[in-house]
């Protein structure tokens, strides 16, 4: 929605979204990464929230918030976010919807990680970790993009494009 407000030049909507984000998430700490993925997620609750807050805080406030929200990158608590969801674990007949959600999760995680990394100071040690994990998740998504058939994959192009746009922004 924040991207939309920029495209259509809607400051009142942007202000409402930013205010709601602060109201809902400013005090959040210790995101429960162990819950991820929940099996059929197509968004990472922890990464989606961190991405949103990267867009509503200035950099110094975001870094302080992120330090208390996500566990350190090399910690056991962060590990669930380092393992791409395995959409290949489902057969064609089994849970096509779940498979499609996990493929979408790979792309949304990849994009979120890039956006979060781009909001950090240039010397932040999490940047290379997040960029590498982003690439791993994107590869997992592209590797399985056709595995869910049309029923499950007709919407993947959106997530793949959003990831690709975030990746292209890094190369500028």
Chain length of the chain: 172
Residues 6+ apart with CB under 8 A from 1: 13, 17
DSSP code at position 3 = H
The CA distances from residue 106 to 25, 64, 110, 136, 137, in Å, are: 24, 27, 6, 9, 5
pLDDT of residue 153: 66
**pLDDT on residue 93:** 59
Domains of the chain: total: 1
Which residues lie below 8 Å from residue 5, measured CB to CB, with a gap of 6+? 11, 13, 14, 17
At residue 143, the pLDDT reads: 86
Torsion angle of the four alpha carbons 69, 70, 71, 74, in this order, in degrees rounded to the nearest 10: -160
**pLDDT the model gives residue 89:** 63
Q: For residue 124, what pLDDT is reported?
A: 98
Q: Which domain holds residue 35?
A: 2-171
Report for 81-85, 129-133, 147-151: range of highest mean pLDDT: 129-133
pTM higher than 0.75: yes
Token pair, residue 158, equals 């959106």
Give the pair of three-digit tokens for residue 123.
């010397």
Distance of CA 95 to the CA centre of its chain: 23
pLDDT in tens, 28-56: 999 999 998 876 778 899 999 999 999 99
Please, which pLDDT band fits residue 24 given cuts at 50, 70 and 90?
very high
Distance of alpha carbon 158 from alpha carbon 42, whole angstroms: 12
Q: Residue 147 has what pLDDT?
A: 72
């Amino acid at each position: 929605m924040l991207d939309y407000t920029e495209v259509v030049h809607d400051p009142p909507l942007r202000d409402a979204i930013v205010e709601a984000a602060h109201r809902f998430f400013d005090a959040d700490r210790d995101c429960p990464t162990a819950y991820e993925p929940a099996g059929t997620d197509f968004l990472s609750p922890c990464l989606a929230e961190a991405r949103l807050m990267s867009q509503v805080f200035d950099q110094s406030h975001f870094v302080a918030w992120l330090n208390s929200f996500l566990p350190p990158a090399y910690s056991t608590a962060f590990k669930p976010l380092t393992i791409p969801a395995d959409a290949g674990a489902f057969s064609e007949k089994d849970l096509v919807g779940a498979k499609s959600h996990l493929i979408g999760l790979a792309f949304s995680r990849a994009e979120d990680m890039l956006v979060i990394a781009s909001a950090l100071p240039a010397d932040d040690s999490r940047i290379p970790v997040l960029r590498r994990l982003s690439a791993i998740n994107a590869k997992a998504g592209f590797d399985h993009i056709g595995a869910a058939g049309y029923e499950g994959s007709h919407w993947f192009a959106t997530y793949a494009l959003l990831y690709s746009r975030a990746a292209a922004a890094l190369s500028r």
